[in-house]
Each structure stands twice: as structure tokens, then as C-alpha cells.
Amino acid sequence: MAGRRKVCCGVSALEVTLAVLFLIMTAVCVTLLTLMATWLPNTHTSPGPTGPPSPPPQQDPYLVGLGRADCTGPPAEIPLMGYANPQQTAAGLHTRLFSRAFIIDDGRRRLVFVTADIGMMSQRLRLEVLQALQVKYGNLYRHDNVVLSGTHTHAGPAGYFQYTLFMISSKGYIKASIQPLVDGIVRSIDIAHRNMRPGRIYMNRGNLEDSSLNRSPHSYQNNPEEERRRYKSNTDKQVVVLKFTDLDGDGIGMLSWFAVHAVSMKTTNQMVSSDNMGYASYLLEQDKNRGALPGQGAFVAGFSSSNLGDVSPNTRGPVCVNTGLACDYLNSSCPVGGTKMCEASGPGEDMFDSTRIIGHNIYRKAKELYGKADKEVTGFLHSAHQWVNMTDVTVQINATHTVRTCKPALGHSFAAGTTDGGGDLNFTQGAVVGDPFWDGIRDALVGEPSNQTQECHSPKPILFSTGEMNWPLPWHPEIVDVQIIMIGSVAVVAVPGEMTTMSGRRLREAVKQELESEGTFRDTEVVIAGLSNIYTHYITTYEEYQIQRYEGASTIYGPHTLSAYLQRYSSLARAIAQDRVSQLPVGPPPPFFQDSQLFNLLPAAAADRKSANRSFGDVLQQVQPAYRA
């Protein structure tokens, strides 16, 4: 297989060069901040007296509203978001992109869940969407009751970020790219809002085999054996489905979660595409909206991302594409050609075929579960949201030890990429010592990472100490959204990035335990909505982090990132269970940088050209008078 391979979900090694050039050209001095020895008081509030138990589940139907709107944006010349490949710019359309909104109201509270065919939600996009909702609806749709999630397609337009690292890999903050996303997401909510009517929700779950595999099994194997023994597989196979009906029992929509990367479309693709998850939506919607054009019809089918951090859809697995031999198990490198030659593919003939097969598998399983969903979801709605300074969380892990999160930093193996798309330079996964060559270049240009940050991230060899790089704007966020919404006993945990399989399992278990600890909830179903609200790369377990494959190198707040999230989400769940969400501190709000502070590196769109003897609009090839099916 020819073609350039790039980093999945981050910045490729080429971007390292690009970033370096960018820095030289602008002669920037990056401020190296020394870590402050102080830390903010823990936002954890001591559990109050157990409040009165929540009222018994109501038997009245919910009000539900579903909506879908196009958010495709310009399918030309804009970089595609995901592989961070500067050559991978949009040049056509494979499938259109949609935002799908689900609004639920129990008479006391209202919740909104949006799944959009984009790489990930960004803080900037969320803030712009919430501003637009504020203008239209006042205080109805807010930070605490709206969850925005991305399907993780790697073939949607980039350019909707406000932190420097993402702006560099997107060639800037691109107004032409973000505006259609804001408009599409808001329009999907408008449509759902206008459609609100009494309805019911049913849940079902089942397993989908043969559509995913773990792309960092060596990291997974480092988790404790007794923990691994509790699970049959090294990826989560469950599909969770919510079926929405009107009061007559007629289906009006479906929302589901499944953990797999939407990277069936490869780095060589230049067409805007919603990839496998979007294709599943297309199939179910075409099924239910008989005769309607794609993207039209009342039935809305949302396929949301989950704990897909180490989960690939390329089910034939990695091989050295030049020799056909197996890649090195530990570092995914090939004897000839290194990292670049090790690539996963399948199950189809080519990426279009693979997208079709994986999308069809997900659709078929969800449709089957939808058809048999008969467990009605009842009970009140809840939501809890906080902003957390993720550079500054202290966690008590046992009676004697506390651990801390770090200022953000990316490790060397980040630039190696994954077997779904490897980096261009000679970085390898699993690096626990830095490469003096690249460290030298980095030190000369942007300075060494501070000793505190290096120690905090150990054993990660730091490639970019993004938390100490603030020009022209911070390279990575400090303030992160943590959020849980509950529909009866279904808890949707909105995760600001890509959790690995085991991280997701630990999080679901911790949230379930807190929710059920007060006796308020029983038999809760906890789902992880990945790529929600803001993007902070990956979240591995502490044990996986030690291996420093791509996912560990991209766990930006250090080895205890997951412990910090377990603490924060448990605290939200406890507040819901004890009915004292209103006492939760809101936390420090995120910055909203002025448009004038953001930058755009994208050259102006090239002029359209034609030969002198032609006019725009000429027919190049006449259609046949008739066609046969």
C-alpha cells in the first residue's frame, strides 16, 4: 500500500517540523513557566447530610424532540481534522456530515445530547454554540444541560480550535470551517426543540463482535491481571441503544454508543466523509425514512463515540505493508522502513469498502437491538457539570499517598502515530527515553521542558511541553469540562477526549458505584460519550501509561490523568445521588480568546480556472436519454 501515513488524532511528526519552522519564522520566545508549588483547594465539597431521596420515578411520558441538520462545511482546500496531515486537505465529498440532536424534558429539567459527524468537539466550538443558543433561547440551553459529542470521523473539515497546537495542525482558526459547524449544530437543536412532544424511551444492549480490535494490546496487557481476567476481550463490544417513540409506540429515533475509531477512511483520503459511524446513521435513517433523500425524513439515528482510545476498526490488524510480515509487537515498527511501514487495514478491499462493512455491522446490530428494546427508561432527569483545572488536581490514592496531575505535555511516541496512521519521521511507539537528535532540536528552538514537568510526566520523555508554551496563545487547555447527564437510570458520562478500553471500564464502574451508593438509583446503565465538549487527546490507565505507546504519550496531564477524572466524575455522580448538584462549585470558566488573537495560516482559496474556449456551466459530457436500473 502506497501513500503517506500520518498520526491519528493528533499532530504528526511532520507537524513537529511545521511547528518548528513556524517558531523559527516568528522568532518566538516561548515562556517556560515554573510550576507553582501551590495548588488550588480541591473543589471536592464534603458530602452533606444525605438529602431526602429523590421522588419515585414518574410514570408520565417525557417530552422528546429529535432533529438533524447538515454541518458539512466547505469540502475543498480545508485540512481534514484527525490525522494532522498537512497534505490531507478536502477535495470533494464522500458523504455529507450531520449534527443530530436529542432533547428530553421531564417537566422539571431539560437535557440535550448532540452527536455530530466531526473529529471531536472543541472548546471553541462548544462556546460558540452555547453563545448562539443563549441568544436564541436565553437560559434554556446551558453548559450544564447540553452535551456536545463528536463521532471522531477523521475526514471532516478542521479549523475550529482556539489552542495553538490544534490551530497549527488545522492551519489556523478557519471561520469558513467553524461557522457551518456552529450553524448545523444549532439548527439540529432548533429542529429538535420545535419537535418536542410526549414520547417514551426504551433501552437495550448487546455485543457486536468482529468490528473492532485493540491497537495497543501491549499497553492493555500491562493492566493488572486480576482486572483483565474480568473481561472476555481487550476492547468493549457492547452497543447501547436508546429507542425513542411517540405515544402511539411509533419509533421516531435512536441514539446509540459503540467504542470504535471512525478511521476506516485512511490518510490518503481527501474526501469529506462521516466514515463508519456516519454510514451507520445513513443506513438506519434510509431504512426508517422510506423514500426520503439522505439527510431528510423525521427519523433521526445517532451513533455516538465512546471509549475508543485504543480501538481500531481496521480488523485485519497491522502488518508491514512492504514485506507482509508482522510488525514488532512492542513498538509497531517494521525491520525495513520502521514505523511508517506498519499499517492496519481491513476488513474490506479498500477504505471505502471497509467503511461500508464496519458501518453496516454497527447499523445491523443497532437495528436489531432497537427492534427488541422493551426496557422502558423512566425516572427524573439529572445533570451535573463542572470546569476543572486539569493541571492542578490532587488525588488521594490510598491512606498515605496523594498524586497530582501535570501541566500538559506530549511524549515522543505521540509523533510515532498509530497503526491506523503512522508518523513520517523516525519516532517509534513505546519510547521511554527521548531521542537526543529531536530533543536537541527542540531545546535549541523552544527550550527544555522544566525539570518539574519532566518529573511529573515520568516515564514519558517529553517532546512538547505544551503547558509551558503560551505563544501566541496557550498550546493546550488547562480548564476542562466534566459532565454527567442522566435520563432515568441511564447515565451519560461526557468525556473530554479518548479514553482507552480499560480507562472507560474503570470510569463506568466508579460512576455506577457512586450513583447506586445512596440507594437512589438501582440498576443504572452508564455509557461513555467520547470526544465530548473539549478535546484533550487520550486518557490511559496508569499502567498503560508506563508503556508509552501513542495513547500513553498523548495522555497530556500525566500518569494520574485517569485518577483525576475518576475523582471528578465520582464527585459529580455523588452529587447527583445525594441530590445536591446545586452545591457543586462551577469551577474556573474556560477562556474565550478574541478573534484577533487567533490566527489563520490557510492561503486564500485558489481562483477557479477554465480554458479560454469554455464557460463555467458548460456541459462536459451529456447524459444518456435513458438509464436502466
Ligand X SMILES: *[C@@H]1O[C@H](CO)[C@@H](O)[C@H](O)[C@H]1NC(C)=O
Residues that bind ligand X (CB under 6 A): 36, 39-40, 328, 330-331, 333, 338, 389, 391-392, 397-401, 426, 428, 435, 437, 448, 450-451, 478-479, 588, 611, 613
Provide the minimum distance between the beta carbon of 477 and ligand X in the complex, in angstroms, as a whole number.
9
Residue closest to 421 by CA, chosen among 20, 119, 97, 23: 119
The nearer residue to ligand X, 206 or 317, going by C-beta atoms, is 317
C-beta neighbour count of 440 within 10 angstroms: 11
**Spatial distance between the Cα atoms of 280 and 243, rounded to a whole number of angstroms:** 15
The nearer residue to ligand X, 292 or 330, going by C-beta atoms, is 330
Provide the minimum distance between the beta carbon of 438 and ligand X in the complex, in angstroms, as a whole number.
7
Residue with cell 424532540: 65
Cα torsion angle, 615, 621, 625, 626, sign: negative
- Check if the beta carbon of residue 240 is closer than 8 Å to that of residue 527: yes
- Whole-angstrom CA distances from 414 to 177, 335, 431, 565, 625 are 26, 20, 9, 21, 55
The nearer residue to ligand X, 15 or 525, going by C-beta atoms, is 15
Which one of the listed residues 211, 256, 312, 571 is annotated catalytic? 312
The nearer residue to ligand X, 27 or 37, going by C-beta atoms, is 37
> Does 170 participate in catalysis according to the annotation?
no
The nearer residue to ligand X, 614 or 628, going by C-beta atoms, is 614
3-state helix, strand, coil in the chain (%, to 5): 30, 25, 50
**Burial letters for 193-229: b for 16+ Cβ neighbours within 10 Å, e otherwise?**
bebbeebbbbbbeeebeebbbbbbebbbebbeeeeee
Provide the minimum distance between the beta carbon of 214 and ligand X in the complex, in angstroms, as a whole number.
18
Angle of helix 351-372 relative to helix 275-288, nearest 10 degrees, comes to 50
- Check if the beta carbon of residue 540 is closer than 8 Å to that of residue 562: yes
Residue with cell 501491549: 218
**Spatial distance between the Cα atoms of 205 and 119, rounded to a whole number of angstroms:** 25
**Spatial distance between the Cα atoms of 547 and 391, rounded to a whole number of angstroms:** 22
- Check if the beta carbon of residue 354 is closer than 8 Å to that of residue 272: no
Residue closest to 411 by CA, chosen among 565, 222, 561: 561
Provide the minimum distance between the beta carbon of 332 and ligand X in the complex, in angstroms, as a whole number.
8
The nearer residue to ligand X, 63 or 479, going by C-beta atoms, is 479
**Spatial distance between the Cα atoms of 408 and 476, rounded to a whole number of angstroms:** 7
- Check if the beta carbon of residue 534 is closer than 8 Å to that of residue 129: no
The nearer residue to ligand X, 257 or 545, going by C-beta atoms, is 545
Active-site positions?
Answer: 312
